[in-house]
Structures are given as structure tokens and as C-alpha cells.
Amino acid sequence: MKVTAALPSGVSALFFDSARQRRGLEENLVELLEGCGYGEVVLPILDYLEPYEPLLSTGARGELYRFIDRDGEQLALRADFTPMLARLLAPRLPSMELPLRFFYRGDVVRYHEERPGRQRESYQMGAELLGVEGESAEQEIFELFLSMLTTCGLPDVRVVLGFAGSLGGLATACVGDDGAADFLAAIDRRERRILQGLDGPPGKAVREVLEDGLPQDLEALGSEMAESIRAVANLREDLQHRFPEFQLNIDLAEFAGVSRPDDGFRSTSARSYYDGLLFRAYCAGGAQPVGGGGRYDSLFRSLGAKVAAVGFSLSMERVLAVPETLQRAGRLCGGVTP
């Protein structure tokens, strides 16, 4: 075979300045995480496939690089840190002191058709908080996420907040159980055709969700969900004051494809384990979110452990694709900026 410098699609190598810039930014993020009491965990890139089989959505299954090892075991390359952490920690939790605050960094490998911002090998940094009940955990992890974005120096950051399964009740009220999954998929694409024939308060609520991300009358989502969204609104308001440089918005349509595992709807998201608060950050010039996260208690529940869990991850490739971040990373590590 002729030796060339070619790499498979969606994979990149970093040399010299590029490597220095990433490591420089990474070190600053590690300093922030450790300063907030988060300790590092290092995870393998190769794992058994079997423990993840029940956790995999159709989307996540299609992304996996899996193969049969020489000893006949089915193995998979790490495609997501969170389920791996949950699987490894769930059996150990009874003997561990909670809360647990940890962070990770490393590659995830996912098969993607060639799409904007979709690397097949992607370097992530993320943090997880286990064992803190209620809104204080969400407050802590969301604030840490925003602090990470501040450290990255990203310009014009827009953070979108939502709640897993928030539109399931409204969808059922509009089209019944059978049509709800397709209706949610249409909301996810903001298709206004679904407004045809929808009258009264449900129609008004769906229109407001499509346009503004949130119905004026939250009770249209059901009283329990309305309460959850009010909590998200309080979180948004509090953090908006503390991070005035960012624009924080609640947009339930942005997460219409994420249903809760026990909703009975088909989740169109590959990361289908979220069951509460959700957030995602975009920055100027970026077509893909630079990071996101949320609550995922049910992932641990499905593994036989009862613990509150909230976390997030950042895509370092997408963060460093922003010129302002590169310049900042260059300054931080003393490297040469491009």
C-alpha cells in the first residue's frame, strides 16, 4: 500500500500549534473543574457491547463501532462517556460516599455520514454530579457549564434550555397517543403545517412553542410539566443575571425529539437517556452546538441504582473551531495563533 498522509473521514490529527492550543485550553478547563471540587476519571476506549444493549436507542446503535474480538466477545469503541460511567459506577455506588463530582476528557468514536461538525472521532470534556437531589444539582452543573464556556472565550453564546418529554402531553392532547411521536418530530423541525386544524388553547400553545419555544400558558403542558418548566425558568433567570454576556432562552421545540425513557414515545435523539433539564449551547458562526447536557437519573435507575445524576459535555473540536477560542487558547498556552 502506498504510504500517504490521508486519514479516514471525520478523523483529524493535531500537530504542534494546534495540539498546544487544545492542551492549553484543556488545562484551563481542568483547573476550573478541579477548583470546583471535580476529580478526574479516566475511562477505557474499548468496552463490552452487551451491558449497553438495553440502553441503546436506534440512533445510538447506528453510531457504534462494534466488532467481535479474537476471543469471541462483542466489543464496542466508546461512543459516549455517560453510559459507560453509569455502568461502571452503578454497582459501586452503595459503597461510595455521595455526592460524587467528577470530570472526564477523551475521544468518543461514532459513525456519522459526512455532516457539518460531525467528526467520527471527537474529543470531549465533560463533568457529572451524582447524588445531589433537586434543583441545586442542576444549578451547580449548569453554572459550571456556563463557566466552562466563559473560560473558552466563545463569542455570542446562546444557551437553549428545555426539559425532556415536555411536549408529550401537549402532543397527545392535539393528536392522541398514536400520532404523538410523528407530531413531536414535526415540532422538532418546526413544521407549521401541524397547526392546520388545531384550534383553541392546544393550537395556540403549539404555535407559541414553534415560534417562541414556550407556551404563554404553561398549564397547556400539563400541571406537573408546567411546574418543571417554571423551575427551569427560575434557573434561567438566576443564571442569566450571573452570566449577562450569554443569552439564555427556554425553547422546548429545540428538544422535542428527546422524550423521557418512560414516556412511551420513540426518542429521535441518539442520547435518549435524559429525563429532566436539558441544555445546549450555540455560538456565533457555529451550525452545531458546542456542548450540552442535562439530568439523567433514569439511566442509573435502568442499571439498578437510585441516584440523582446531572452532567454535560463540551466538544473540543467545535469549541476550537471558533476563531475567538483559538486566539484565546493561543494566548493561554503562549503558542502562536494562526
Partner 1 sequence: MIRMALPKGRNLVSAKAAFRRAGLSLEVLERDERKLILTSPEDDLELLLLKDWDVPRYVQYGIADCGIVGTDVLEELDGDLLVPVCLLEGRCRLSFIGGEGAWPEPGSQVRLATKYPGIARKVLIEQPWGAEILELSGSIELAPLLELADLALDIVQTGRTLTENHLYELKVVREIAPCLVVNRASFQEHRGPLNDLIRRLEAAGVVE
CB closer to partner 1 out of 187 and 332:
187
Please name which of 291, 282, 286 lies closest in space to residue 313, comparing C-alpha atoms. 291
191 Cβ neighbours under 8 A, 6+ residues apart: none
Neighbours of 160 (CB within 10 A): 21
CB closer to partner 1 out of 144 and 160:
160
How many whole angstroms separate alpha carbon 12 and alpha carbon 69?
A: 26
CB closer to partner 1 out of 173 and 248:
248
Instruction: Give the DSSP letter of residue 10.
Output: T
Residues in contact with partner 1 by the rule CB under 8 A: 113, 115-116, 156, 158, 160, 189-193, 196, 210-212, 249, 251, 254, 282, 284-289
Least Å distance, CB 270 to partner 1, is 12
Least Å distance, CB 54 to partner 1, is 27
Least Å distance, CB 194 to partner 1, is 11
Grid cell at residue 215:
407556551
CB closer to partner 1 out of 136 and 247:
247
Q: Is 178 exposed, middle or buried (0-12, 13-18, 19+ CB in 10 A)?
A: exposed
Q: Which helix (H) or strand (E) holds 319?
A: helix 316-320
CB closer to partner 1 out of 28 and 267:
267
Residues paired with residue 55 on neighbouring β-strands, in sequence order: none
Least Å distance, CB 30 to partner 1, is 28
CB closer to partner 1 out of 147 and 288:
288
Least Å distance, CB 292 to partner 1, is 12
Instruction: Tally the residues of the chain.
Output: 338
Judge contact between 49 and 61, C-beta under 8 A.
Answer: no
Least Å distance, CB 81 to partner 1, is 22
